[in-house]
Chains A and B, each alone.
Chain A
Amino acid sequence: MKVALFVPCYVDQFYPQVGIASLQLLEKLGVKAEFPAAQTCCGQPLANSGCEKDALPIYRHYVDTFSDYDYVVAPSGSCVYHVRKHFDKLEQTPAVQQVRTSAYDLIDFITTVLGVTEIPGTFPHRVGLHLSCHGQRGLHQANESEITPVRDGQLRRLLGSLNGIELTELDRNDECCGFGGTFCVSEAAISARMGQDRVADHERNGTTVLTGGDMSCLMHLEGIVRRRQLPMRVLHAAEILNGTLS
């Protein structure tokens, strides 16, 4: 199985530890992933801004970089969703189709492709999940509260298998954090307020470690946690799962 790791631009620059944890976690689960150096971005920021046409060369570059792999794994559901859903704008060559079907969010890959349901380890903390909208509703990695009251999902199950972990029950299970890519800039006021409300829900319900599968939401939430100087750590789920495996 030939697996490539896709590290989104902001993770590369600001959260290298998330890329490292993803790589190491995969390795511990028996998958040796490569990091193709030519990779840049999936083009989502442009497309979400209404500039899909300008993003097409990026899409093509992405396909050129990754089409030789069986799987492309990323610690971000949002980028994966974008590749799967919006690369329909390219001519559907076998390479493009390959990349679209092989793109996986890290947690989805571990659960669906590797079939891993439990991670041995201990993490004695009160952990709050931030479900990313693209992961949850876009990639169906978790139940949606609009449809069912049952709270279940890939990440919830994986984390739940750790010893000593306590998962926070939130008032609003799957409300959006307000990051939304360029939304956080173009609608800065609403974005900030949404993030503050999200953090407040976790605070109210006792989260001490805030985690999720999508680093973009977490970057936004971390910015708020740090501004408010809350005693709350923000970690990507890969960091938690990787740490407990060693």
Chain B
Amino acid sequence: MNHATRAAKFVGDADRTTWHDETLWFVRAKRDKAVYAVPEFQDLRELASQIKDHTLSKLDTYLEQFEEQAKRNGVHIHWAADAAEHNAIILDIIRQHNATRVVKSKSMLTEECHLNPHLLSNGIEVVDTDLGERIIQLRDEAPSHLVLPAIHLKKEDVGETFFKHLGTAKGEVDPQVLTEAARQHLRARFLAAEVAISGVNFAVAETGGVVVCTNEGNADLGVNLAHVHIAAMGIEKLIPRLSDLAVFTRLLARSATGQPVTTYTSHYTKPAAGKEMHIVIVDNGRTKQLGRPDFRASLKCIRCGACMNTCPVYRRSGGHSYDFTVPGPIGAILSPNIDMKKHSSLPFASTLCGSCSDVCPVKIDIHTQLYKWRQVLGEANEIPASKKWSMKLMGRLLTSPKAFGVGGKLARHGIKYLPYSLTHARHFNVWAVARELPTPPKQSFREWYQQQANTPA
């Protein structure tokens, strides 16, 4: 199934689509207000972009520096080449502590590596503690957004889920009541957890510390209650110095939700007395992307989700239509790196309007990369054969002015003389499903121009 098919399914529910579109547009508008209020915002973007470019150009050095510093702080460092290694390392740490109960605060990386099913199948109970994450975990769904993982669900859906799993009343839709139920349910899990897993927003090479930005504070609660903290990070999360951090924290929350800063910005540098801290540093395809000069900049992403909120296609097709851990425009340039065949339709799930590149706080040229992926996919024969052949034919036609004139005429007259039921038949012409075809004029511009030239003034 390609993006278009999944998207068509989503957009088929017109009301839900309206609601999804408007909710995310509201977040985009909030972002705008927060951004306009900071006069130096565009300079900050530029600075962030440069810091990230620089870091990526010396990633090996900064990773070593980070490891060294973290070890000095008493943190255990692990390296994982891929998802399987990441999962094995984490399971191993949990087993070493004879633990069976784990809480986890939103980490897209563990999603990417499918950690939950791996732990569950090994007898470990793992509970996502962010509200949105917990909702979709109960529903056995994937997140549909980086920052708002359950944004595809309405409160009715949540009510239904909690009725099934948490014993709230049937038909309960009051957000207050539902949140309270989740809170009570999670509290027990927090208290029981032996190990807490968190994501990482930024890793500071200079200090060896990691920074986690949250609004619910669940990461802190989990980490402070459990005996062991495991932080999982992709290699691209590094920034060189602690002083660089301010640039990113100013950009992240504003771009994500329009807040000046996230409610909690927690620094974890060393384990508390008597406790343990582990950091798992994961590659999983990132060095491969680093080695693609056209797409390397996609690794600058700080996962704010702004490109999704602004993307007119994402807003109307939903995150699940991308069928990849990171959806939306950024997902569409990260995913073909992982599996070109499976994700070949994603770079085409865009009008190339360029809004994603304009909101991106680290100035990733997202829409240019989408365009470039299309060429890579075309060359690799990963686009539909019918498209490939019709484009080849068109290529020939369009280099011959004569054939072009005749072809155009045929198209114009074809529309005029074919019956409406045929030109507007769903299978012949998808354009006409929702739109009228243009009324063909008597004369083309070319013919008119020729006539003018032949008529003496």
* B355: Cβ under 8 A from any A Cβ: yes
- A11's nearest neighbour on chain B, judged by CB, is B445
CB of A48 to closest CB in B, whole Å? 7
CB of B214 to closest CB in A, whole Å? 26
Tell me which residues across on chain A come within 8 A of B32, comparing CB atoms.
145-146, 149
Expressed in whole angstroms, the Cα–Cα distance for A138 and B358 within the complex equals 11
Q: Is the CB of B444 within 8 A of A189?
A: no
CB of A139 to closest CB in B, whole Å? 11
Partner of B7, one of A144, A146, A187, A197: A187
CB of B81 to closest CB in A, whole Å? 31
* A116: Cβ under 8 A from any B Cβ: no
Q: Is the CB of B348 within 8 A of A13?
A: no
CB of B258 to closest CB in A, whole Å? 13
Tell me which residues across on chain A come within 8 A of B450, comparing CB atoms.
37
* B437: Cβ under 8 A from any A Cβ: yes
Q: Is the CB of A20 within 8 A of B448?
A: yes
User: B350-363: contact bitstring with A at CB < 8 Å (1 yes, 0 no)?
Assistant: 11111101110000
Tell me which residues across on chain B come within 8 A of A197, comparing CB atoms.
21, 316
- A225's nearest neighbour on chain B, judged by CB, is B436
Expressed in whole angstroms, the Cα–Cα distance for A7 and B349 within the complex equals 28
Q: Is the CB of B352 within 8 A of A180?
A: yes
Q: Is the CB of B378 within 8 A of A194?
A: no
Q: Is the CB of A175 within 8 A of B438?
A: no
Partner of B438, one of A46, A55, A144, A223: A223
Q: Is the CB of A227 within 8 A of B436?
A: yes
Tell me which residues across on chain B come within 8 A of A61, comparing CB atoms.
398-399
User: A192-222: contact bitstring with B at CB < 8 Å (1 yes, 0 no)?
Assistant: 1111110000000000000000000001101
Tell me which residues across on chain A come within 8 A of B4, comparing CB atoms.
186-190
Binds A, one of B86-94, B205-213, B279-287, B404-412: B404-412
| B-side interface residues, number (CB < 8 Å) | 73
* A69: Cβ under 8 A from any B Cβ: no
Expressed in whole angstroms, the Cα–Cα distance for A188 and B8 within the complex equals 8
* A50: Cβ under 8 A from any B Cβ: yes
Q: Looking at A23, A176, A219, which has the most chain B CB atoms within 10 Å of its CB? A: A176
Tell me which residues across on chain A come within 8 A of B409, comparing CB atoms.
13
Q: Is the CB of B352 within 8 A of A48?
A: yes
* A28: Cβ under 8 A from any B Cβ: no
* B3: Cβ under 8 A from any A Cβ: yes
Q: Is the CB of B392 within 8 A of A54?
A: yes
- A196's nearest neighbour on chain B, judged by CB, is B434
Expressed in whole angstroms, the Cα–Cα distance for A132 and B377 within the complex equals 27
CB of B321 to closest CB in A, whole Å? 9
Some 6 contacts from A to B, beta carbons below 8 A apart, are A50-B383, A51-B392, A149-B32, A190-B11, A190-B317, A192-B433
